[in-house]
Amino acid sequence: MASLIIRTTFLISLIGISLNSCQKKANSNSRAISSVSTPEFADYWYAGKAELVSYNLKQSRYGEVHDGKAVLIFVTEPFSKNKQVKLDNGEAAGDDKQTVLKLNFTKKFVTGIYPYSMMLSTFTPVELNKYPNTPKVTMSSQEWCGHVFSQMNLKKNEYEVSSYSYFEQEGDVKFDLGKALLEDEIWNRIRLDYKSLPTGEFDIIPGLFHTRLLHKNLKAVRVQGVLEETDSANFYSLIYTDRALKIEFENTFPYKILGWEEEFNGLGGKKMITSASIDKTLNTDYWSKHNSKDKYLRDSLNLQ
């Protein structure tokens, strides 16, 4: 992944100036979403299984890089438009039902004596042309100092944000944010239709992992989107004024996430890099694998 770091650093220096000096509009690449209606899509995403992928994680924290594990779990499920929760009986829900691609994104790493356990859940409609905005994102982070939890729910043209933290400066807050693209939905959009990803300059709400770890206020900011398509893999980058996220993914269906790098300013402005590289993949109905006899499946993902 070293080449990605070099290219990302170059993009920060090259594009960072334009974020402050020009007002170029984003190219949303808007078009009819065709991939979700193909037999190939149905065979993979509607087979009653989830895609579980483990990654070798290098997590930057406290000015150092810590080894860890990340897991991306993608699965389709019926979702209530009104309650914004998974439906118990999708067939009986009528017009309240929509199908979403759910991402459960976990990170586990240890800093010194104490561990971190983080999880992000993002619910993105499969029919992006009909429902262009992700209705819900949740994030939790636990470590020995305490834990935090954030939730965003889309209500018409605003996200209702609830955030709870053991830090005094963050505390328990509720506020509204104007509707904008979410960084946390990019992962799902790659899987659903990567060519719908916006390029150029646009507004985005940064990811909940990043804003909570760096104790940043959650708000929409300007960003530059860059999509690169190569013979070996595709790359999508989000270039902020002080940060860059680059995601590598397959250039053929099902567009599996191969890894990512995040470069940002840490304490004292020190440049830090968090990265992850793909390890193992397992497609299974994990929700039914909850007995002791199923523990061997963790070995398939190199998870302890």
Other CB atoms within a 10 A radius of the CB of residue 33 amount to 17
In tens digits, the chain (304 residues) has pLDDT values of 544 444 444 444 444 434 443 444 556 544 444 578 799 999 999 999 999 999 999 999 999 999 999 999 999 999 999 999 999 999 899 999 999 999 999 999 999 999 999 999 999 999 999 999 999 999 999 999 999 999 999 999 999 999 999 988 888 999 999 999 999 999 999 999 999 999 999 999 999 999 999 999 999 999 999 999 999 999 999 999 999 999 999 999 999 999 999 999 877 778 999 999 999 999 999 999 999 999 999 999 999 8
The structural domains of the chain, with segments of one domain joined by +, span: 2-301
